[in-house]
C-alpha cells in the first residue's frame, strides 16, 4: 500500500517478464504453482523477483498438463480446475498472476470484490478510482497512466477466467504490455513531432513495429532541422538517435523516414549492431514507403537499470532500396538483391538535457538496377 502507479506498474511488468522466462524461455518450462505477493521479493530498486519454488514442477517434451491429488498452493490463488479436478497446466500460474495483479492495483480485498461484480463493472470501477488518484498529474501523463491501468485490469480479468482455455498465455500478456508502451511512446512522440497526428495514420502504409504516422504526404521543410544524407533514397531525421534514459523503463526515440522519389517505392529495414538492446531486436522495423510519402517510427530500447556504457553498441544500419510495388517479403528481396543504400545511424543514451554533436556515417551507396 502507498506505492504510486509507476511503482505498481513496474512490479506488474517485472512479474510478467519473470513468469514468461519460466514458462517460455527455458528448455523445460517451470510452473511455479504458488505465485502470490508473499513469493514476490522486491530489491532496493523495487525490482520484483519471483521466489519460493518449493511447489514448482518441470514440464518435459510435449507434456502440457498433469493431474494430481496432492494438495498444494495457497487458497485464493488456486484456479477452479485445480480445486475441482487437480489439473495443473501453465494456466495455473496465469490464474494466480491475475489475482496478484488485481491485488497490486486495488489492494488485498480487490479480488474478492471483483468476484462479486461483472467484469466490465469492476474494470470501470478500477479505472475510475485510479483516474481520481491522478488528479494532480499532468494531462499527458494521465492519459498514459490510464492506458496502462486499462490494459492491466483487462489482462488481470482475462487471467482469472473460470475456463482455463480462455486465459491468455504469458507471452501474449507481455506482448500486450509492450504494445501499450509502444502506443504511449507513439502519443508522446506525436505530441512533440510537428505536423504529425494520430488521425493521419493510413492503413495502406507499412505496418512495421513502432509505426507512428504513416499518411502519404510531403512535408517540406520540417525534415531538415538536422542534416539529411545527400544522395540517399530516404531522407532520415534525426541523423542521431537520442534516447533519454530512465531506469527500468522502456525508452524510445522517434525516427522519421521520407521517400522523395516521384514514382518509385522504397523498401527499408533496420539492422541493429546489438539486437538484444532493442525491443524485439527491431526485427519488425521494416516496410515500404510509397513515392513522396513520410513515416515516423519509434525505436524502443529494452528496460535497463543503468544506461549503456558503450554507445557504439546502440548504432544501427538502415538499409534501403528501390523495389516493385508488389515486393512481397522484404528480407528475402534484400537478401537476394542487396541494399541500394546503407546508412549507419549513431545513438546516445543519457539523462534528459545531455547533448552530443549529431553524427551520421555514410556507410555505402549504390543504386540497384530495375
Report, as residue numbers or ranges, the catalytic residues. 34
Alpha-carbon gap, residue 165 to 59, rounded angstroms: 18
Q: Are the C-beta atoms of 257 and 214 separated by less than 8 Å?
A: no
Q: Which residues pair with 296 in a beta bridge?
A: 213, 256
The cell for 101 is 495483479
Q: Are the C-beta atoms of 298 and 185 separated by less than 8 Å?
A: yes
Alpha-carbon gap, residue 348 to 245, rounded angstroms: 9
Which residue, among 245, 239, 252, has the nearest Cα to 344 in the 3D structure? 239
How does DSSP classify residue 225? S
How does DSSP classify residue 238? -
Instruction: Locate all alpha helices (DSSP H) within the chain, ordered by sequence.
Output: 5-24, 80-85, 90-106, 110-114, 119-133, 139-159, 170-192, 330-337
Alpha-carbon gap, residue 235 to 231, rounded angstroms: 9
The cell for 313 is 553498441
Sorted by sequence, the CB contacts under 8 Å of residue 346 that are 6+ apart come out as 239, 240, 241, 311, 312, 314, 315, 359, 360, 361
Which residue, among 303, 298, 295, 266, has the nearest Cα to 284 in the 3D structure? 298
Amino acid at each position: 500500500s502507498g506505492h504510486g502507479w509507476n511503482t505498481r506498474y513496474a512490479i506488474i511488468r517485472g512479474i510478467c517478464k519473470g513468469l514468461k522466462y519460466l514458462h517460455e524461455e527455458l528448455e523445460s518450462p517451470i510452473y511455479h504453482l504458488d505465485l502470490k505477493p508473499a513469493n514476490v521479493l522486491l530489491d532496493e530498486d523495487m525490482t520484483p523477483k519471483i521466489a519460493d519454488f518449493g511447489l514448482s514442477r518441470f514440464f518435459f517434451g510435449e507434456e502440457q498438463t498433469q493431474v494430481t491429488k496432492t494438495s498444494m498452493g495457497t487458497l485464493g490463488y488456486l484456479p477452479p480446475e485445480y480445486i475441482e479436478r487437480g489439473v495443473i497446466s501453465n494456466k495455473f500460474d496465469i490464474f494466480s498472476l491475475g489475482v496478484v495483479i488485481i491485488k497490486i492495483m486495488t489492494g488485498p480485498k480487490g479480488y474478492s470484490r471483483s468476484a462479486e461484480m461483472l467484469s466490465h463493472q469492476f474494470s470501470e470501477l478500477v479505472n475510475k478510482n485510479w483516474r481520481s488518484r491522478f488528479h494532480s498529474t499532468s494531462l499527458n501523463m494521465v492519459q498514459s497512466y490510464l492506458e496502462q491501468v486499462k490494459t492491466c485490469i483487462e489482462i488481470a480479468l482475462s487471467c482469472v477466467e473460470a475456463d482455463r482455455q480462455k486465459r491468455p498465455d504469458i507471452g501474449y500478456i507481455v506482448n500486450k504490455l509492450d504494445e501499450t508502451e509502444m502506443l504511449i511512446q507513439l502519443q508522446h512522440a506525436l505530441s512533440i513531432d510537428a505536423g504529425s497526428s494520430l488521425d493521419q495514420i493510413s492503413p495502406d502504409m507499412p505496418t512495421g513495429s513502432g509505426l507512428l504516422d504513416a499518411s502519404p504526404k510531403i512535408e517540406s521543410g520540417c525534415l531538415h532541422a538536422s542534416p539529411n544524407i545527400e544522395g540517399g533514397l530516404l531522407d532520415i531525421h534525426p541523423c542521431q538517435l537520442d534516447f533519454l534514459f530512465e531506469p527500468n523503463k522502456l525508452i524510445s526515440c522517434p525516427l522519421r523516414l521520407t521517400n522523395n522519389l516521384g514514382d518509385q517505392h522504397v523498401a527499408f529495414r533496420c539492422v541493429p549492431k546489438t539486437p538484444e538492446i532493442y525491443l524485439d531486436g527491431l526485427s519488425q522495423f521494416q516496410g515500404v514507403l510509397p513515392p513522396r510519402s513520410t513515416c515516423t517510427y519509434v525505436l524502443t530500447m529494452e528496460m535497463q537499470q543503468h544506461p549503456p556504457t558503450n554507445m557504439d553498441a546502440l548504432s544501427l544500419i538502415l538499409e534501403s532500396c528501390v523495389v516493385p510495388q508488389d515486393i512481397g517479403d522484404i528480407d528475402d528481396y534484400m537478401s537476394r538483391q542487396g541494399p541500394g543504400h546503407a546508412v549507419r545511424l549513431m545513438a546516445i543514451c543519457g539523462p534528459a538535457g545531455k547533448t552530443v554533436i549529431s553524427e551520421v556515417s555514410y556507410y555505402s551507396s549504390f543504386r540497384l538496377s530495375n
